Amino acid sequence: MCSATSSERLPLTRHLLLQGLLFALLLPAATPSARQDSGQSVPFKIRHADQFVQSKDSTGARLYVLLGNVLIVREATSISCDSLTYFPDNGFFHCIGSVHVADSVRSLSSDTLFYYLDRAYYRAAGDMRWSSGKLWGSGNQGEYWRGSALFRVTGEAFAADSARELHSETMEYESATGVLRAQGDVRFSESESGSTGAAASARYSSGDKLLVLRGRPVLTYYEDEDSLRQDPFSLTGDVATSFGRDSLTATGRVRLWRDSLSVTSDSLFHNLATDRSYFRGGPPRVEHPEYRLSAERLDISSRERHLELIEAEVGGRGEFSTGGDSAEQRGLRREHGSWIEGDTLRLFFSRNAMDSIYAAGSARSFYRENELSGVNYVQGGIILLVFEDNLLEVVEVRDGGRGVYVPPDTGGVITVIPDSSGFLSPPDSVFPR
**For residue 364, what pLDDT is reported?**
93
**For residue 351, what pLDDT is reported?**
76
Asked if omega into 283 is within 30° of 0 (cis), the reply is yes
**For residue 224, what pLDDT is reported?**
61
Q: What is the topology classification, in CATH, of domain 283-433?
A: lipopolysaccharide transport protein A fold (2.60.450)
Pairwise CA distance, residues 351 & 8, whole Å: 56
**For residue 269, what pLDDT is reported?**
94
The ranges assigned to domains in the chain are 1-120, 133-256, 283-433
**For residue 416, what pLDDT is reported?**
37
**For residue 433, what pLDDT is reported?**
32
pLDDT digits (tens, 9 = 90+) for 23-67: 444 444 443 333 434 556 788 999 999 999 988 888 888 899 999
Rounded mean pLDDT of the chain? Answer: 81
Topology alike, domains 133-256 and 283-433: yes
Cα 21–27–32 angle (5° rounding)?
105
Q: What is the DSSP string of 123-157?
A: EEEEEEEEEETTEEEEEEEEEEETTTTEEEEEEEE
Whole-model pTM: value is: 0.76
Query: Under CATH, which architecture does the 133-256 domain have?
Result: Sandwich (2.60)
Pairwise CA distance, residues 295 & 300, whole Å: 12
Burial, 1: exposed, middle or buried (Cβ in 10 Å; 0-12, 13-18, 19+)? exposed
Cα 391–276–293 angle (5° rounding)?
40
Give the residues of the chain that fall short of pLDDT 50.
Answer: 1-37, 325-336, 412-433
